Amino acid sequence: MLDFIQMIVSGIAVGSSYALMGLAMVIIYKTSEVVNFAQGEMALLSVFMTYMGLEYYGMPYYIAFPGALCFAVFLGFFLEFAVLRRAKEPNVLGMIIITIGLEMILMGFVSWKFGADPKTMPFPISPYDSVEVGEIFISALELLTFLAAITVMAVLFLFLRYSKLGVAMKATQQNLVAARLMGIRTNRILMITWGISSLVGCVAGLLIAPITMQPYMMWDPMLKGFAGAVLGGMTSLPGAVFGAYIIGIVENLFGGYVSIEFKSAVAFFIIVLVLCVKPSGLFARHYVKKV
């Protein structure tokens, strides 16, 4: 029984990084209905720029980490303004292909600039420090990731629900033309959305980097975050978080009791199973656009 509880706790801890990536992808999808497959590599570039500041230039943590978040925001602004906005009459499929191209470009740049060898990310908290609660152990870094995921979800929920900018983002997603007619500067809203999404992804990357840091480090969290968002509902922030935690717990239990080699595959099997019953995910409303 103790082993089972430990696996649940570890699954929740792992699911927190998936939740952050899922939140980042949902933010863009809620505004533009585009799945951003470059999300992981945007965070990757921000993390390696942080590493460069810490290792090469000797920046202190209190400058390097806020600097990374600012860099992530401007990276999101730049990619939306310089690349996505320049696409001529794009459809959803075309935008997805563009994000996949951006993913390859960013990963290639990081590999070229920093090499493919694993790095060690300086971090105030060691990934090997653990907190003991009764007979259950959880690493301090995993606990920090869990708290970060819950905090980010709460802030985003309040932001989208009660702020004028959040309402404008939802209006842009529901009807772009109507939003423009109502005076909403939709291009600016889309750019801000990419900046916020990049910021959330950067938080996830900074918390993953102390455990593993190499050019492919964000590939698995991005896929699992996307899987969790699809499972919970691509238009629901709580759904994306809950779905990511389900993914983390189920794959951990499957790896512990069945097979460690196929624990990643079982998460996607669950998604296929759930979407056959509820196509919009567990927490999102299913609707049909009428023409």
**What is the number of structural domains in the chain?**
1
- Report if residue 67 sits inside a domain: yes
pLDDT at 284 over 70: no
- Report if residue 268 sits inside a domain: no
Winning range, highest mean pLDDT, from 19-23, 125-129, 180-184: 19-23
Residue carrying structure tokens 């938080």: 203
At 290, is the pLDDT very low, low, confident or very high (cuts 50, 70, 90)?
very low
Give the domain extent around 108. Answer: 2-225
Which residues are CB-neighbours of 240 under 8 A, at least 6 positions away?
Answer: 19, 22, 23, 25, 26, 225, 228, 229, 232, 233, 234
Tell me the mean pLDDT in the region 7-11: 85
Measure the CA angle with vertex 152, ends 157 and 141; round to 5°.
Answer: 155
- Report if residue 90 sits inside a domain: yes
Which residues are CB-neighbours of 71 under 8 A, at least 6 positions away?
Answer: 46, 49, 50, 202
Closest CA to 250 of 2, 10, 3, 1: 10
pLDDT at 7 over 70: yes
Q: What pLDDT score was predicted for residue 286? A: 55
- Report if residue 284 sits inside a domain: no
- Report if residue 290 sits inside a domain: no
> Tens digit of pLDDT for each residue in 38-52?
999 999 999 999 999
pLDDT at 289 over 60: no
Q: How far apart are the first and last CA of the chain?
A: 55
- Report if residue 64 sits inside a domain: yes
185-192: long-range contacts (C-beta < 8 A, 24 or more apart)?
Answer: 187/85, 189/31, 189/165, 190/31, 190/32, 190/80, 190/84, 190/85, 191/76, 191/77, 191/80, 191/81, 191/85, 192/77, 192/165
- Report if residue 246 sits inside a domain: no
> Tens digit of pLDDT for each residue in 231-282?
888 888 888 888 889 888 888 888 877 777 777 777 777 777 777 877 777 7
> Tens digit of pLDDT for each residue in 185-223?
888 888 999 999 999 999 999 999 998 899 999 988 898
The Cα–Cα gap between 105 and 205 comes to: 18
At 291, is the pLDDT very low, low, confident or very high (cuts 50, 70, 90)?
very low
- Report if residue 189 sits inside a domain: yes
Kindly state the helix (H) or strand (E) to which residue 139 belongs, with its residue range.
Answer: strand 136-139
Reported pTM? 0.90
**How distant, in Å, are the alpha carbons of 130, 153, 180, 213 from that of 148?**
17, 8, 34, 20
